[in-house]
Chains A and B, each alone.
Chain A
Amino acid sequence: DQQVKQNSPSLSVQEGRISILNCDYTNSMFDYFLWYKKYPAEGPTFLISISSIKDKNEDGRFTVFLNKSAKHLSLHIVPSQPGDSAVYFCAASPGGSQGNLIFGKGTKLSVKP
Chain B
Amino acid sequence: DTAVSQTPKYLVTQMGNDKSIKCEQNLGHDTMYWYKQDSKKFLKIMFSYNNKELIINETVPNRFSPKSPDKAHLNLHINSLELGDSAVYFCASSQGEGQYGYTFGSGTRLTVV
Picked from B44, B98, B104, the residue with its CB within 8 Å of the CB of A99 is B98
Residues of A42-59 contacting chain B, CB below 8 A: 42-46, 49
B43 A89 Cβ-Cβ under 8 A: yes
Residues of B within 8 A of A88 (CB): none
A93 B104 Cβ-Cβ under 8 A: no
Judged by a CB distance under 8 angstroms, whether A69 is at the interface is no
- Counting chain B residues whose Cβ lies within 8 A of the other chain, the interface size class is 20 to 34
Q: Measured between C-beta atoms, what is the minimum distance from A37 to chain B in Å? A: 11
Picked from B40, B44, B48, B105, the residue with its CB within 8 Å of the CB of A43 is B105
Q: Measured between C-beta atoms, what is the minimum distance from B46 to chain A in Å? A: 11
Judged by a CB distance under 8 angstroms, whether A105 is at the interface is yes
A46 B48 Cβ-Cβ under 8 A: no
Judged by a CB distance under 8 angstroms, whether B4 is at the interface is yes
Chain B residues with a Cβ under 8 A of chain A: 4, 31, 33, 35, 40-45, 48, 55-56, 90, 92, 94, 96-107
Chain A residues with a Cβ under 8 A of chain B: 32, 34, 36, 41-46, 49, 89, 93, 96-103, 105-106
